[in-house]
Amino acid sequence: MGLTLAEKILSEKVGRRVKPGEIVVSRVDMAVAQDGTGPLTFDVIKELVGEERVFDPGKVLLTVDHTGPSPRRDLSNFQLRMRAFSKKTGAIIRDVGEGISHVLLAEDYVKPGDVVVGADSHTCTVGAMAAFATGLGSTDIAVAMVLGKIWFRVPETVKFELEGELPEGVYSKDLILSIIGRIGEDGASYKAMEYSGDGVKNLSMDARFTVSNMAHEAGGKVGLFPSDGETKKFMEENGRGRDWMPIEADGDASYYKEFRIDLTEIEPVVSYPHLPANVKPVKEAVKDGIRVDQVVIGTCTNGRLEDLEVAAKILKGRRVAKGTRLLVYPASRKIYLKAMKSGIIEALVEAGAVIGPPSCGPCVGIHLGVLGDGEVCLSTQNRNFLGRMGNPNSYIYLASPATCAASAIEGRIADPRDYL
């Protein structure tokens, strides 16, 4: 019997064949904390070993991505702690304006076959590069940062066999939201989600990251894609072609559950408040006539170049509706620069967008873009929980960047296919 992707990566790391259900201690290739979870991680490290130290500074990443530039004193002090910890231990720090941890991991640090843990639930994003990447709490990350290893229960794998190609106006965000709508928010609880089949070839790396990013919204531990030519191309573009290697699941691997998904049948969808699994076709949302006060394009789910590109394509030569705000947050400085050089930023600003610094932006309700009472936001982010954007008396809908761009033009939720 062969191995699933998750089993293959963990077996390699652990040095023997592992099987689902068993507890293993694995070496860690990257351990990450951000400005909201870092300070507690440092406290636990001190409790654990009496001082601030890490097993290998080159494998510990700190990001100031949730609250930078700081809007208030307490948060500035969190950031000071991040810098002090980095100075003391040599851990890598990516400071204000550099980008979101999950995107920086992909650009600069992770390679196929790695085991990556982060004190942030969307660490699963880099699973798109065939890395066993998952989010953990600050205490677990403290352990990983000090010992260079962590324990896992080897997960069973749910396979999603993708066929065909997404139709025009339909994106990988629609695919993953549709999956979550179908299996529910605990549909893959404690499981590895693995994508395979011919349809994978038709998904760019940017598209795959979006899918892996939301594994957690289905309860998944990791969201894995095979490492293939697209992965290689992405790593080459980021100057790390040498680190690439192919990895795929064995043909005779055994799965907990299997789904077949015909990509040609996916349509644009929207998640209604307050659950990501509350998914409805955009056509229905259009009928419901949902007015939007704020539209956000960005976050670790959809702040990549292709996302900004499609938004610019739709918005170019058009205007954001009166009474609607459009906030765009490139997910990293590299993406920001590329978008700037290719005219994407210009098109967006001309259409009326406000461009924010590479960061999480309004996603977690602590930075700019906090919603007012009764306001409605359509966002490309991964969560629409009650109060997520800083106000429990507001409503968040989730959709693809294209749907967001089209909706910004109309001032209500719109079908992107009318604009392409």
Partner 1 sequence: MIRGRAWKFGDDISTDHIAPGRYYHLRSNLPEFLKHVFEDADPEFSKEIMKGKSFIVVGGRNFGKGSSREHAARLIKLAGSPVVLAKSFSRIFYRNCFNIGMPALIVDTDRIGHLDELEVDLEGGKVRDLTKGVELDFEPIPEVMLKFMKEGGIVAYIKKHGDLVF
Contact footprint for ligand SF4 (CB under 6 A): 66, 100, 120, 122, 299-300, 360, 363-364, 381-382
Residue closer to partner 1, measured from CB, 374 or 385: 385
Give me the 41-60 binding string for partner 1, x by CB under 8 A, dash otherwise. Answer: ---x--xx------------
- Among 1, 51, 74, 289, the residue binding partner 1 under the rule CB under 8 A is 74
- In order of 204, 273, 325, the CA distances from 398 in angstroms are 21, 8, 16
Classify residue 230 by burial, with Cβ atoms within 10 Å: 0-12, 13-18, 19+.
buried
Partner whose binding site includes residue 100, from ligand SF4, partner 1, none (CB under 5 to 8 Å by kind): ligand SF4
Give me the 157-176 binding string for partner 1, x by CB under 8 A, dash otherwise. Answer: --------------------
Partner whose binding site includes residue 360, from ligand SF4, partner 1, none (CB under 5 to 8 Å by kind): ligand SF4
What is the closest distance, in whole angstroms, from the C-beta atom of residue 78 to partner 1 in the complex?
A: 7
Give me the 125-144 binding string for partner 1, x by CB under 8 A, dash otherwise. Answer: ----------xxxxxx-xx-
Please give the Cα distance from 397 to 412 (Å, whole number).
Answer: 11
Partner whose binding site includes residue 309, from partner 1, ligand SF4, none (CB under 5 to 8 Å by kind): none
Residue closer to ligand SF4, measured from CB, 349 or 364: 364
Comparing C-alpha atoms, which of 315, 259, 292, 261 is closest to residue 395?
A: 292
Position of tokens 């023997």?
16
Please give the Cα distance from 125 to 108 (Å, whole number).
Answer: 14
Residue closer to ligand SF4, measured from CB, 360 or 406: 360
Partner whose binding site includes residue 371, from ligand SF4, partner 1, none (CB under 5 to 8 Å by kind): none
Q: How many helices (H) and strands (E) does the chain have?
A: 14, 18
Residue closer to ligand SF4, measured from CB, 162 or 215: 215
Comparing C-alpha atoms, which of 112, 202, 130, 127 is closest to residue 162?
A: 202
Residue closer to ligand SF4, measured from CB, 212 or 382: 382
Bridge-based pairing state of the strands 23-27 and 115-118: unpaired
- Token pair recorded at residue 399: 């959709």
32 binds partner 1 (CB under 8 A): no
Backbone angles phi, psi at 135, to 5 degrees: -90, 145
> Is the CA virtual torsion 37, 38, 43, 46 positive or negative?
positive
Residue closer to partner 1, measured from CB, 52 or 415: 52
349 binds partner 1 (CB under 8 A): no
Partner whose binding site includes residue 300, from ligand SF4, partner 1, none (CB under 5 to 8 Å by kind): ligand SF4
CB 215 within 8 A of CB 123: no
Spell out the alpha helix ranges (H) of 218-368: 229-237, 282-288, 299-302, 305-315, 333-341, 344-351
- Among 3, 75, 308, 409, the residue binding partner 1 under the rule CB under 8 A is 75
Residue closer to ligand SF4, measured from CB, 130 or 360: 360
State the DSSP code for 122: G
Interacting residues with partner 1 between 179 and 208 (CB under 8 A): 185-186, 189-190
- Token pair recorded at residue 372: 């007012």
Q: How many CB atoms lie within 10 A of CB 15?
A: 10
Residues that bind partner 1 (CB under 8 A): 23, 25, 36-37, 39-40, 44, 47-48, 66-67, 72, 74-75, 77-78, 118-121, 135-140, 142-143, 147, 149-151, 153, 185-186, 189-190, 219, 221, 275, 364-366, 370, 383, 385-388, 390-392
